[in-house]
Amino acid sequence: MIKLLLINHETRYELVELIRVFFPGQEVISIDTKNDYIGEGILIVNSLYEENGIKFATTSLYINDVLVKQSTENIELIEIYGRSIDKYIRIGIKKSLYNTLISLNEAKIPWGILTGIRPVKIVHELLDRNIDDNEIIRVLTEEYKLYIDKAKLILNIGKKQRKYIEPLNKDKYSLYISIPFCPTRCLYCSFPALPIGRYENHIKEYISKLIYEINNISKMMKGKNINTVYIGGGTPTAIPPTELEKVIHCIYNNFGQKDIKEFTVEAGRPDTITEDYLRMLNKNNIRRISINPQTMNDGTLKLIGRQHKTEDIIKTFKLAKEIGFDIINMDLIIGLPGEDILHVKKTLEEIKRLDPENLTVHTLSVKRGSKFRDTIDKYSLQPQNILSTMLNETMEYSKDMGLEPYYLYRQKQILGNFENVGYCKPKMECIYNIAMMEEKETIMAAGMGSVSKIFFPEENRIERVPNFKDLKEYVERIDELVENKKVKLEGS
């Protein structure tokens, strides 16, 4: 257990998240005074103070009541090109904590003081201010404490994304559709997914309510410009093709097929994809799909709860190409239980032979609500240095396949303090992924568990409008959800 004492500020959440990077799995408890520390274990004291008109942040680390390390940050010397003094103070507070803990920690901390999901946002903020590349790298490595390779990675990604983000337009939006049904629940999954075997009789009613919501979103967005559509889940192809086709037709009827610049359907699991399903999608002008193996090792597939084998993934991918899909994304997960570098190389060799247009590489995350979090002690997981080697292999294989990184995000409790990276062949970026991740346009979302995000470009602000994560609530209270969106949009 780690005790945390804050003096003259309340930046608790970000500091707790950063402490957990250094001490994974440790409980962090806030205390009100040093008297609440009885002299056993770790105490971190983080204070903000002013001296001769200059603000300083200091972190002191005590182990068994002995001061073992202390670091002070002069906030006046920080330069991140931000407009808010509060942001400078937060950076100073976190840097003092980082500098105190880093010398005592054997693990690598490649993302420095960053604990948020979207590090590329920082690059966009700097590019918006016309800061040059060298200075951006300095800000990322010296102020945010990123490793140089991570700094260069997100700078390159940010620059690649600019043509899809600019110019900012409050009337541009994308549409996300949630189909929350799955054949089985995977070990690592934390989404509000519903096993199809138990909820099969609810599908028609769900699709009816979903279409109702889509129809209402169309009315709300009249006069605005649709950009992309993404149907995700769950596993959208877990429901009958006739039901998914109803949704696709509803989208086209409401928003106009010719006006949609990109339409993606996350087919996901090969055990849900038939030739008839693929032909239905192709007939309806869906050109971009996902077929997600996660791994090409049969033993691991069984362990994580998948009901298919490697050969099923390969057959499904080849069939989709024969039918005529232009862009296929494949997801894989690094750090799955029991997998070593040889397993990862086998997966990458199989994917290289298939030659997908997009590849999304996830690092396993221990998510709340997943079976994995509750049973993690049962599994063998690789240490940080092996995970790093695995991720380096994915970068090298991606380069060999002609794939370049185009979006990146991170997750809480991600193994090894690493990241998730989307790769693509030139000019085959998934525009929706960029829009969703960088939060520079409105995302209107329909379906159980989905979250609309209304973008206010003048304030660089996002307003979230979540839907219910419970099926019964979603179906019975759909009018309430529609009204919530109307109210937020009227405020935009």
Q: How far apart are CA 266 and CA 126, in angstroms?
A: 33
371 confidence band (pLDDT: 50, 70, 90): low
Structure tokens at 21: 């990077």
Residue with tokens 């945390």: 4
Structure tokens at 130: 């016309």
Query: Is CATH 3.80.30.20 the right assignment for the domain spanning 172-484?
Result: yes
Cα 487 to chain centroid, rounded: 27
pLDDT tens by residue, 267-280: 988 989 999 999 99
Compute how many other C-beta atoms are within 10 angstroms of the C-beta atom of residue 489. Answer: 19
The yes-or-no answer to whether 1-103 and 172-484 have a common fold is no
191 confidence band (pLDDT: 50, 70, 90): low
460 confidence band (pLDDT: 50, 70, 90): confident
What pLDDT score does 434 carry?
A: 98
> Is there a contact between 247 and 281 (Cβ–Cβ < 8 Å)?
no
In the chain, domain spans? 1-103, 108-158, 172-484
Lowest mean pLDDT: which of 248-262, 377-391, 405-419? 377-391
Mean pLDDT, residues 199-228: 97
What pLDDT score does 117 carry?
A: 94
Q: How far apart, in Å, are the Cα atoms of 273 and each of 67, 183, 265, 269, 277?
A: 60, 11, 12, 7, 6
- Assess whether pLDDT exceeds 80 at residue 190: no
Spell out the residues 6+ positions from residue 458 whose beta carbon is closer than 8 angstroms to its own: 170
pLDDT tens by residue, 76-130: 999 999 889 999 999 999 999 999 999 888 889 999 999 999 999 999 999 999 9
What pLDDT score does 370 carry?
A: 63
Instruction: Write the single-letter amino acid at 472.
Output: K
pLDDT tens by residue, 337-366: 999 999 999 999 999 999 999 999 999 987
What pLDDT score does 405 carry?
A: 98
189 confidence band (pLDDT: 50, 70, 90): low
| 6 phi and psi angles, rounded to 5 deg | -105, 135
What fold is seen in the domain 1-103? Double Stranded RNA Binding Domain (3.30.160)
Spell out the residues 6+ positions from residue 396 whose beta carbon is closer than 8 angstroms to its own: none
293 confidence band (pLDDT: 50, 70, 90): very high
Smallest Cα–Cα separation from 385: which of 345, 340, 426? 340
Write the DSSP assignment of 376-422 as a string of letters: GGGS----HHHHHHHHHHHHHHHHHTT-EEEEEE--TTBGGG--EEE
This prediction has a pTM of: 0.94
Smallest Cα–Cα separation from 124: which of 453, 455, 434? 434
Instruction: Write the single-letter amino acid at 19.
Output: I
Instruction: Write the single-letter amino acid at 120.
Output: V
Q: How far apart are CA 139 and CA 81, in angstroms?
A: 9
